[in-house]
Structure 1
Amino acid sequence: MSTDASPKSRRLLVVLGALTVVTAVLAGVLYFTLYRPDQRVDDTVRAAVTDTASQGAIALLSYGPDTVENDVGAAKERLTGEFLDYYTQFTTDVVVPAAKESQVATQATVAASGPVEVAADTATVLLFVNQSTTSAAKPEPAVTATSISVELTKSGDDWLISGFDPVQAHG
């Protein structure tokens, strides 16, 4: 009997080993498809959200005293949700009057950018933005550098900005 138990034990070990490998592979596949939504989008989507966030930031932060209303109107086309409401109110109450009365002009450029999280219909992109501001009182450009977390939401085929928050430095 001891000679029969040994081949049966070996077969059982081989079957258990194979089941372990199959289980590990399935767990890995499930992790990367269900629990890692950033793995379900391709590089084209990552590039699209990064470009949308970058171009949107430039539109939001760049305007001139003679074109501010058109600049703000064009920027609003890139926004959605509560952020669109906030931006509309803020530009109406603060930006447009200040640009006209004080001859404020700003020009933003994106120095660096990268996707933080990208899913099928939402994304977060980190931007490093430089902004140059002039006014009638201060014609020499004041340059500031800011890190901004941009949230995007997919609407049809387009990505729209749904959040735009400066990143607080920790130190």
Structure 2
Amino acid sequence: MSAEQKLPVATPPITESKSNDEPSAAARWWWRKPRRSVTVLAALTALAAVLAATLYLTMYRPDKRVDDDARAAVTDTASQGAVALLSYTPDTVVSVVDTARGRLTGEFLDYYSKFTTEVVVPAAQESSVATQATVSAAGPVDVQADTATVLLFVNQTTTSSAEPEPATTATSINVELTRSGDDWLISGFDPL
């Protein structure tokens, strides 16, 4: 290459410069985008606040409206009900079952009536079955205005003519209760 031959040098095209008073299209877009972001962020914050208030009013507050007296009442009802349902002797089984029905409601009442008539009473009288239940621990799991669930830990001692030596079993029971007027009645009784 000779000194006379030079490579072309790329030079940027010459554009008209705009005055500083009028921003370019790119600058106008940039300035609008943060405003949109702030608007979207504000809308999302408002939506989150509405959602939090709705959840508080529908899920959290109804549980807080139930006081300690109600929690104690459902725990006591579940404990006494479990002892009444699970404790009997051959001589008292019929009266115990009849009395226990007064503590029950709904489908569980129907089930208990049928089960005790067909299984418990005949077995207790024919095989001299006697049971004694005690609640070793109890606590409310969920207490609402008209329904409750209580977890019980029950010890049950059983004797019979075939097994005169007492056999003790420990069971945990999930007791569901339903309010009926001023009283709580057992609507579910599920050993775990």
TM-score by length of 2: 0.72
Give the equivalent residue in structure 2 for 1:123. Answer: 148
- State how far apart, in whole Å, the 2-side matches of 1:108 and 1:117 are: 24
What is the identity, as a one-letter code, of the residue corresponding to 1:52? T
Corresponding position: 1:34 with 2:63: no
CA contact (8 A) 1:33 1:40 kept: no
**Which consecutive unaligned segments of at least 5 residues does structure 1 have?**
1-19
**Correspondence 1:157 to 2:182:** yes
The 3-state SS of whatever aligns with 1:148 is strand
How many residues were matched structurally?
147
Map of 1:97 onto structure 2? 122
1:34-82 C-alpha deviation (Å, 9 max, x unpaired): 2123212000000000000000000000010001000101111000000
SS in 1 for 2:91: coil
Separation (CA, whole Å) in 1 of partners of 2:131 and 2:89: 6
Cα distance per residue 1:11-31 (max 9 Å; x no partner): xxxxxxxxx8xx96x977754
CA deviations over 1:58-116 (Å, ceiling 9, x no partner) = 00000100010001011110000000000000000000000000000000000000000
Q: Residue type of the partner of 1:155? A: S
Q: Equivalent pairs: percent with the same residue?
A: 72
CA shift for structure 1 position 164: 0.2
Q: Cα–Cα, structure 1 residues 45 and 33, in superposed 2: closer, same or farther, change >3 Å?
A: farther
Pairwise mapping of residues 17-56 of structure 1 onto structure 2 (< 5 A)?
31-36=55-60, 37-56=62-81
Pairwise CA distance, 1:32: 4.2
**Structure 2: distance between partners of 1:29 and 1:54:** 36
Structure 1 residues 47 and 28, CA gap change in structure 2 (3 angstroms): farther
Counterpart residue number, 2:109: 84
Contact 1:33 1:39 in 2 (8 A): no
| Structure 1 or 2: more helix by fraction | 1
Give 1:33 shift: 3.9
Name 1:6's counterpart in structure 2: none
1:137 shift after superposition: 1.1
Unaligned ranges ≥5, structure 2? 1-44
User: Aligned Cα RMSD in Å?
Assistant: 1.9
Moved over 3 A (4+): 26-33
TM-score scaled by structure 1? 0.80
